[in-house]
Amino acid sequence: MEAQLYLLKTAPMGRKFKEDTQMERNPNQKTSLKKIFSTQNLVMMAALIAMQIILARYLSIQASDTLRISFESIPVILAGMWLGPIPGAIVAVVADFLGTILSGYGTWFPPLVLGPLSVGILSGVSTKYIFRSPLAETRDTWKVAAIVVTVGILNSFAFGLVGSTMYSILVAGNTTAFPVLMWTNLIQRLATKPLTIAVNAVAVTIVNRAVYKPVVRHILSRA
């Protein structure tokens, strides 16, 4: 009997039976990609991409010659929190690419997307695998703020810092040595980015509380 069962599993039909059995044990494996690219998720991603482009190009606040408060990370953070790390990454990359093309800045420079990419992925990973909840309740406010501050720091002072320094040298033609230029960029960011991170933390908390339950959860429940 055991020999017959072994032959059944190793034969083509047997392998198909084994795969189907494993899929039945773990139905999430079968539907995970379908959920990520469901119609509802694609609509949400498209809306967040459009929002990111508008915020990045038209709705930043130039407080002074050296201080600019931007909101471009907010849709990427929300994409990661609401939809997961893969949709968060997709929103970050597509929005950065389309924003560059539409604004006429020139050639899209992939290393510059390291910052937004880290924001989308880490927001999704934190929500889905660390906190394991939609973070829609009042008690979750500190968790949302913690995510925004953490990804903001990593974006501004790690991934984004490296990407912008590479852009200055490889695209803009800056001849300053890489370590010196990165140190200069770091000093500038230390003077300007903390306020942006704080503003984004407040904004994401408010938007998440106001929109997730009445709108986003209702849309995603149909996926």
* pLDDT tens digits, 151-188: 999 888 887 788 888 878 887 778 888 888 888 888 88
Give the pLDDT of residue 25: 47
Residue 122, pLDDT above cutoff 90: yes
* pLDDT tens digits, 129-147: 888 877 877 778 899 999 9
- With pLDDT > 70 as the criterion, what percentage of the chain qualifies? 81
Give the pLDDT of residue 136: 72
Task: Give the CATH architecture of domain 37-220.
Answer: Orthogonal Bundle (1.10)
pLDDT band of residue 15 (cuts 50, 70, 90) is very low
Residue 77, pLDDT above cutoff 90: yes
Residue 102, pLDDT above cutoff 70: yes
* pLDDT tens digits, 35-72: 888 889 999 999 999 999 999 888 877 665 555 678 88
Distance of alpha carbon 59 from alpha carbon 176, whole angstroms: 32
Whether pTM > 0.85 for this model: the answer is: no
Give the pLDDT of residue 67: 59
Strand ranges in 27-110 using DSSP code E only, listed in sequence order: 61-62, 68-69
Give the pLDDT of residue 201: 94
DSSP codes, 160-203: HHHHHHHHHHHTS---S-HHHHHHHHHHHHHHHHHHHHHHHHHH
For the chain, give every domain's residue range.
Answer: 37-220
Query: What mean pLDDT comes out for the span 88-106?
Result: 86
Q: What number of other Cβ atoms are within 10 A of residue 186's Cβ?
A: 15
Q: Kindly provide the b/e burial profile for residues 15-41, where b requires at least 16 CB atoms within 10 angstroms of the residue's own CB.
A: eeeeeeeeeeeeeeeeeeeeebebebb
